């Protein structure tokens, strides 16, 4: 599977969301079916797309692009800082913007 190398800020955001859910890394691993090693990779902003997807789904989140800073040039020059987590409306559905 493709290894996703992201900005470490995603890993920091993931840790914040995990703590909001009051889960330890071991509990997050159990809820996602991932190993503790894989959760550690995600924490550092690495891991594969499937691992990120399982983790975000378990936390009720989805990966998106921050619409307040998006421009086509910015996306192609520096995509990682534009990525953000947001609450999901449910499996396969996008969160509605306010």
* CA-wise closest residue to 32 among 13, 16, 12, 47: 47
Q: Tell me the sheet residues that pair with 3.
A: 48
Question: What are phi and psi for residue 66, nearest 5 degrees?
Answer: -70, 110
Between CA 71 and CA 14 the distance in angstroms is 25
Q: What is the pLDDT of residues 17-68, one digit of tens each?
A: 999 999 999 999 999 999 999 999 998 888 888 999 999 999 998 877 666 6
Looking at the whole model, is its pTM more than 0.75? Answer: no
Take residue 90 and report the two structure tokens written for it: 């449910």
Measured from the Cβ of residue 72, the count of other Cβ atoms closer than 10 Å reads 7
Domains of the chain (ranges, CATH numbers): 8-87 (1.10.260.40)
């Amino acid at each position: 599977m493709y290894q996703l190398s992201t900005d470490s800020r995603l890993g920091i955001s993931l840790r914040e969301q995990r703590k909001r859910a009051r889960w330890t890394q071991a509990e997050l691993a159990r809820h996602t079916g991932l190993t503790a090693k894989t959760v550690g990779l995600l924490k550092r902003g690495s891991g594969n797309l499937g691992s990120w997807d399982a983790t975000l789904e378990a936390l009720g989140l989805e990966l998106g692009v921050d619409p307040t800073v998006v421009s086509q040039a910015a996306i192609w020059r520096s995509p990682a800082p534009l990525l953000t987590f947001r609450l999901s409306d449910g499996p396969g559905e996008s969160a509605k913007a306010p």
